[in-house]
Chains A and B, each alone.
Chain A
């Protein structure tokens, strides 16, 4: 397995070159680029500038592990308004285009967003229908779409069986799951998701979570790897069982307040322990 970390972890006042140098020095093999998050990678970044970005990554001794985005929280594929859905589809298309330009073969998509206003049945149906043509686009580009399990935040596809059925309904070989082992906290066990989805896993986000903390035990909060309640030995064993040998991508929600570069090193070391199975 290979290690990657998101470019959105790079401190905001750092430049790209300084950030890439840090990622490399901390021991990562690649970097996850977040479309729309950082100034160097926006929807209006030209193809030429995307290629230049790719060259900068390679010059730093890294590769692009995948292209992600948080833009679908504001423009979901499941929106009722067709113009918003068109914008959401364009975001995925741009992810696919840029992944191709950058030499990556996976993109992360937040497939649907259930809200007070837009109910579950609509979101399900709309997401399935949106992903079919996008799957065709992805396949033509040699890219796979990984729908992320954002569980509680999305209020959608909360169980692994349900996610499995969703992917069955999309029924496209270029559409799978970008599994976040930290997002499952209150409603399951990451290792079971890994077993169930196996070959459909496109990438894995890693972070840890402290379950049911606080005075009332009603809050689950993200934390550093190996510090929370994820059962890492079980997760590692499940990865072995399903033969997952792809990218592990660090997505640390909790950030260091001081010495932010230190988090890159600590996370890389924890990922090394996970990969080697020294747990």
Chain B
């Protein structure tokens, strides 16, 4: 499939357009607007709210997250490494008799194997979450918008990005308007 050349939109002052943002006053409007943006076929857009809105990931049509798989793989790797580390240390590198138990008894390995499995999973989840969210980052175009700051107080915002194949400055604006969005603004890069 031939890749569509990405169209770059610019404002009158010549700034590159990041996207179009719209405000919603209630979680209900916000939730239904997200469903409609999803159904309109947009893929590169995001939603912002002062608190977690239950079910918003489904309303946005977000794909199944890959984080659980990463957590499982790294967690089991950590558990395996934990077992191997103890086995090597107490049965191979420096065999030590403890309470007359055999060097390679599996029983005493279990707690540390379990702990390292948990530790690796915790790190995988934390670091993976940052990586998938492309965090930390110093700046985001939306931060320049005075009205966007209310998203940490009492406003719900949807921003459709210009890189979306279906993006069209006037069409997207009209759609957001029809969904009940207010204060629709162009966001510059």
Q: Do A and B form a real pair?
A: no
